[in-house]
Amino acid sequence: MTTIDYSVWDHIEVSDDEDDTHPNIDTPSLFRWRHQARVERMESFQKKGEELEKNLSESRRKLAEVQRKVQELAGASTEESRQELDKAQAQERQLRREERSWEKKMDEYRREEKKQPWNVDTLSKDGFSKSVVNVKPEVKVDTEEEKELKHKTFVEKYEKQIKHFGMLRRWDDSQKYLSDYPHLVCEETANYLVIMCIDLEVEEKHALMEQVAHQTIVMQFILELAKSLKVDPRGCFRQFFTKIKMADQQYQDAFNDELESFKERVRGRAKIRIEKAMKEYEEEEKQKRLGPGGLDPVEVYDSLPLEMQKCFDEKDIQMLQDAISKMDPTEAKYHMKRCIDSGLWVPNSQTDEEVEKEEEPQYEELKTDTGNTEAK
């Protein structure tokens, strides 16, 4: 049979059940004074713990900054850089000692906290302040048209604020800005920042793209944190900044990896967009160039024999006629028709007649010694 240990109840401090008081002392007043003193002690103890936690976090943050500086200066080659490295390493050792000191104080506080006696205030806390009916809400899935309209409306209203957030650099500035404009913590902001990054990369503003990319990943990490906690993103963005500023190496590495990966995807999308735009531009230019017969003069020129290309380069009609006269009549007629259909050659009455004469086979009579004639 399991025995229940009731010894924990020996450390309950409840002043309101004391019967032995002096007859000349107002018992209810005494109980109120004792209760007030206990509450003040509890608040003071709790405030002490919060202060220790804050100092420990600040110490770790400073240590992480110095450690990054040491890594940057690790390959120092100049005398000045080596001096800075020595100074940074000394500062790192000092901050490590401070961190251990705060951790020791924090451990002592937790041990002292466990020894604190229970009382009416710690035993009588409300579990719930309201009744909640556990009904699964109906999840409405927006259609693509509704999503597009929602995004367009949001951007039209808050585009200036989104762009301002995209240009911020420091963690504290970003957190304060989102505190002032919590409506920006949403999918629409993240989507707009992604498009903004691609636009900047297409415009070859690479440094600015990388800055906005950083803020894009900040927003995406906040949204992912909200999904994991199953809360509204506007209610948990401060947790993200607290976590990232505490310099948790694993979390920081995950953030940096995702940032680099995102920038590579942006460059790839920008490249595809540029190639598509170039193809569309070339197609438009080709359509403008098309001759009366629907052929592209550039393509026709490239398909001509070198002798004919040289004639068009020199703009020499006589040279063209000579070149045609040396070609097979069928081939000559084929090339000249393509030149006309592409607009590369614009026939006129005189040139037309000359070209036609050159295209048709020529016959002449050659007299022989016997006086007979022969067609060639």
pLDDT in tens, 225-277: 888 888 888 888 888 888 888 867 788 888 899 999 999 999 999 899 888 88
Tell me: pLDDT of 126 over 70: no
Q: What is the pLDDT of residues 58-82, one digit of tens each?
A: 888 888 888 877 777 776 677 787 7
157/77 Cα distance (integer angstroms): 53
Q: For residue 249, give both structure tokens.
A: 């190496």
Residue 80 confidence (pLDDT): 80
Residue 209 confidence (pLDDT): 92
Please state the rounded mean pLDDT for residues 203-227. Answer: 92
* Weakest mean pLDDT among 67-71, 129-133, 191-195, 357-361: 357-361
Q: Between residues 266 and 289, which one has the greater pLDDT?
A: 266
Please state the rounded mean pLDDT for residues 209-218. Answer: 93
**pTM for the structure as a whole:** 0.47
In this structure, are residues 311 and 267 in contact, taking their beta carbons and an 8 Å threshold? Answer: no
48/55 Cα distance (integer angstroms): 11
Tell me: pLDDT of 307 over 90: no
Q: What is the mean pLDDT of the chain?
A: 77
Q: Within 10 A of 106 (CB to CB), how many other CB atoms are there? A: 15
Tell me: pLDDT of 94 over 50: yes
Tell me: pLDDT of 44 over 60: yes
In this structure, are residues 321 and 275 in contact, taking their beta carbons and an 8 Å threshold? Answer: no
Alpha helix positions (H), the chain: 27-72, 79-115, 120-123, 144-166, 171-180, 187-202, 206-229, 237-245, 249-289, 297-303, 306-314, 317-325, 329-342, 349-359
- Apex 81 CA angle, 75 and 87, nearest 5: 105
36/29 Cα distance (integer angstroms): 11
* Weakest mean pLDDT among 100-104, 113-117, 122-126: 122-126
Residue 288 confidence (pLDDT): 76
